[in-house]
Amino acid sequence: MKQSLQLKIGQSLTMTPQLQQAIRLLQLSSLELSAEITQALESNPMLEAEDDTDSTDDELSADDAADDELDSDGLQDPADPEMTGDMEEAWDAELPDDLPVDSSWDDIYLPSTTPSAPAASDDEYRPEDSSEETLQDHLLWQLNLTPMSDSDRAIALAIIDGIDSAGMLLTELEEIVQDTPEDIEIEEVTAVLKRIQQFDPPGIAARNLSECLSLQLTALTDPPPATPLAQVLLQEHMKALSTRDYAGIKRALKLSDEELAEAIELIQTLNPRPGNAVDTSEPEYVVPDVFVRKDGNRWLVELNNDTLPKLRINNGYAGLIKRADNSRDNTFLKDNLQEARWFLKSIASRQETLLKVASQIVEQQRGFLDYGEEAMKPLVLQDIADAIDMHESTVSRVTNRKYMHTPRGIFELKYFFSSHVGTTGGGEVSSTAIRALIKKLTAEENPRKPLSDNKIASLLAEQDIKVARRTVAKYRESMAIPPSNERKRLV
């Protein structure tokens, strides 16, 4: 094979470290970005959090720190207002715009980790050490106040261990008999179970829904007149009750509509998940990234800058950098200064892109903001990408786990995107709008004769919306709306 030299022209995309960083920051949620900023503050001495009490005259942006003047000794002097053009060129030559392409941002910043808290003294109170009471803790506390023999206590512990977070007993009594080391009978386990079922909250340790609701009726201190009938319905007619077979129940028990309605109304006041009354899980709060408000006839979009700490270049460390000094310490300061500039620019780029996408979403979905879900327009990621001249993947990253606060509530940005269904007139209707119409129709239906999926499809067809019965069923199930036979009511 003969060797030769060839000249070839081509195009290729190089992922520079700052581009990798910008893409990664773009898809982070506000909570993750806050953690990323905290990690950057710990690893880069050139970055510092901006204090609101600082004077604005002392604040320096990333570009200001990079272009600050040098004194005659080669040290940066923030107080000196003069700087020659030669010094600017020398400064720019020392700090390249890009890292080498064979570098990775992970080589500079280690993965974010949570710093360990310093050890506290024994007598120091730490809120994180105090755990909330669980359902098992609540039941064990009551068990310790109940006099029992050792064998009964072992059975009670096995029963409490088999109760789930909803308060239902998932373990079979036969399994408890087999797992208990002592020789016990099933009757002993049943007797201990009866005592556990008298614990708070009412309905605890039930083996099925019928028993759970029945225990709650038994625990009523002032039972209403419909309590005996409600007990009969739960214990003997639970299947007919679950399928809304009210006609069969009335024939079997010879009841009037008023008597049956009163008993059902009492049953509906009971809690099918009694364990949730002791649920101590902390609620998860959503912090919006964007605020939307109406000013006259205009909708204004603003970023929620309070979710992220304000950053700036540390002027003191930046002033230690010497021109034309290649020592190890000086190189370390130069590299960290450049990395700090890239980090600040990446965050600014993320916020700018988020504002662009959110503003375009508001522009496209003005009908939703003015009139509600029924006015939602069909929208896909490509529509926003074309409007703001960005790639569809960029829009997807921006809308992932970002939230918008509107007068109608807080929504994830992806909520405003939906597929479409054609109309008889050749137009398009958003699937979100169709779901809203189905929800409205089922809410306004006659509870004695609820609308079937076929009937809902017919009503939508009268509004020029072509939707098949199976599509109606799919949308209805996605909104957790039961079928017509389960929505039937006596009153």
The larger pLDDT score, comparing residue 138 to residue 61, is at 138
Residues in the chain: 491
292-349 pLDDT, tens per residue? 999 888 999 999 988 788 888 988 888 888 877 788 888 888 889 989 899 999 999 9
Q: Report yes or no: 74 and 324 within 8 Å, Cβ to Cβ.
A: yes
396-449 pLDDT, tens per residue? 999 988 999 999 999 999 999 987 777 766 677 888 889 999 999 999 988 888
DSSP character string of 444-463: SSBTTBPPPHHHHHHHHHTT
Write the CB contacts of 208 (distance below 8 Å, at least 6 apart in sequence): 168
Beta bridge partners of 404: 290, 411
DSSP character string of 262-301: HHHHHHHTS-S-GGGGG--PPPPPPPPSEEEEEETTEEEE
What is the bridge-based pairing of β-strands 290-295 and 428-430? unpaired
Residue 176: what pLDDT? 87
Tokens at residue 46, please?
Answer: 């050139």
- Cα separation, 137 vs 126, whole angstroms: 21
Q: Please give the mean pLDDT across all residues of the chain.
A: 81
Tokens at residue 146, please?
Answer: 């109940």
Q: Report yes or no: 367 and 313 within 8 Å, Cβ to Cβ.
A: no
pLDDT at position 375 over 80? yes
Going edge to edge, which strands form the sheet with 409-412?
Answer: 298-303, 290-295, 403-406, 409-412
E-assigned strand segments in 307-432: 311-313, 403-406, 409-412, 420-422, 428-430
Angle separating helix axes 392-399 and 17-26, nearest 10 degrees: 50
185-217 pLDDT, tens per residue? 889 999 999 999 999 999 999 999 999 999 999
Q: What is the CA radius of gyration of the chain?
A: 34
Residue 140: what pLDDT? 93
E-assigned strand segments in 165-213: none
Residue 279: what pLDDT? 67
Dihedral of alpha carbons 22, 24, 27, 29, sign: negative
Q: Report yes or no: 39 and 339 within 8 Å, Cβ to Cβ.
A: no
Tokens at residue 301, please?
Answer: 């979009």
- Cα separation, 367 vs 365, whole angstroms: 5
Write the CB contacts of 3 (distance below 8 Å, at least 6 apart in sequence): none
Beta bridge partners of 299: 294
Dihedral of alpha carbons 78, 84, 85, 91, sign: negative
Residue 295: count other Cβ atoms within 10 Å of its Cβ. 7
CATH of 420-487, picked from 1.10.3720.10, 1.10.10.60, 1.20.58.220, 1.10.10.10, is 1.10.10.60
Containing 439, the helix (H) or strand (E) segment is: helix 431-443
Nearest partner of 485 among 240, 209, 249, judged by Cα: 240
Residue with tokens 């001495």: 45
pLDDT at position 370 over 60? yes
| Residue ranges, CATH 1.10.10.60, the chain | 420-487
Q: Whole-model pTM?
A: 0.64
